[in-house]
Structure 1
Amino acid sequence: MSLLLKRPRPSFASAFAEIVRDDVVLWISKSEARIGAAAYKSFIAGLPTEDSTFKLMLETAMRGNSGDHDAFRIATDLQSHLDWPVDQELVHAIASGVERTKNRGYRAAMIAWVMETGTRFDAKTGDSVAWRGDNFTGQRAGKVVEVDRPIATGTVTDSYGAKLLILGENLIKVAA
């Protein structure tokens, strides 16, 4: 499999940004009544106009928490870094977005990515495989114990007996 994919595998943060975007836009549209007309105009002026930039902003807020999916912390980051007028409604919208992403949104984004790129996990249970190590340095080997074809991943046991989740794009060779 080539390292040059059409687009990278989606991250949890990118799936979250896609899912929560509409809820945050609705929250923004209701903000004038809560914060006043002058503060609202200033708040709106600071928002990105392009949808992709807006999603990137939400994605960055999620990533800034280093995998911590705490809605209050994400909202606090938006407040401290971007001067957002954070309140309970925004925290609730973010928490709901995190739950929807965990429950099915992230998996759906990965399935769509697999269909788009054609990436596959080309081994089956019991096959010996080799894959690229962390940061694509070195090569590791092990035996496949489980395959999740829709998201092109497999669980592999290495020579130490540790179970590792291997991405299809990191497989180097398969031997039955």
Structure 2
Amino acid sequence: MLRRLALTLALLLGTQAHAVDLETPFDSIDGGTLSIDQWAGQPVLVVNTASRCGYTPQYSGLQKLYDRYRDRGLVVLAVPSNDFRQELASEDEVKEFCEVQFGLDIPMTTITHVRGPDTHPFYASLRAEAGFTPRWNFNKVLIGPEGEVVETYGSRTDPLSRSITTQIEALLPADS
């Protein structure tokens, strides 16, 4: 609601607003939907993933990152995509693979387009507003507590790297 009001105000005042679509829901691999704005006030690391990619072992790092910071508010959202032709054939296969191989319990969407003509609105707005389109699997986007794009990271950036953890720690309340 506040984001919409800020965008409307910016348009009325003639200023340029750089807002990424956080409201359009993703279908959840567990049923129902997930939208980034349901985690307003929390940092969210959004990662386009694939089960048959050379970077697939990063699932372990994503889970460790989530385990380390979830009690302080971090959300890690996995967005499986077959846009690079490296995802399994069905959501059931993806879910089973991630649970069995990596013990994943991070929120996860169904198989979703992150580029091309059928791109999910979050990724389309990310391209339009922040100039970022995933170039490969395991690209990462850090959304700040106020809904702003804090940083984007390529596939080679490990989820537990200092560049990511430093940014996340700056966005979280102090460890109590």
Is the structural similarity TM-score above 0.5? no
| Higher helix fraction (1 or 2) | 1
TM-score, scaled relative to structure 1? 0.25
TM-score, scaled relative to structure 2? 0.25
Identify which of structures 1 and 2 has the higher relative contact order when contacts are C-alpha pairs closer than 8 Å and 6+ apart: 2
Q: Which structure is larger by alpha-carbon Rg, 1 or 2?
A: 1
